[in-house]
Amino acid sequence: MYINFVESYRALKDKFYCFPLQKTIVAFEFANVHDAMYFKKLVDQFSFSGEPKQVAKDEKKCLGVSSRVSKPNYFTKKEHAGWNPITQTFNLK
């Protein structure tokens, strides 16, 4: 997520949401409306809004973090989304 992310996260359908990145658009299709609504609620709750410099300063103070970002802890791979260029589809493994 990025600053003012909540303003860019949009529902195109009940279970299909998207948001822009620098040179692309990322989209999620959820298994059901409940999951989509729950994730939207989390986006609303954890998005930082405001001017970038002030938000970064307030975020560090609020979370008690330093300016360094740590590596993920306890990472597990649940599924892999692979792209098949021949069929133009994603494969989940």
What is residue 3's predicted lDDT score, i.e. its pLDDT? 73
pLDDT in tens, 60-91: 555 555 555 566 666 666 677 778 788 888 77
Per-residue pLDDT reduced to its tens digit, 5-61: 888 888 888 988 888 888 888 888 888 899 989 988 888 888 777 676 665 565 555
CB 7 within 8 A of CB 44: no
The per-residue pLDDT for 58 is 56
- Global pTM value: 0.51
Q: What whole-number distance in Å separates Cα of residue 16 and Cα of residue 31?
A: 9
Q: Alpha-carbon distance 63 to 13, whole Å?
A: 34
**pLDDT given at position 20:** 87
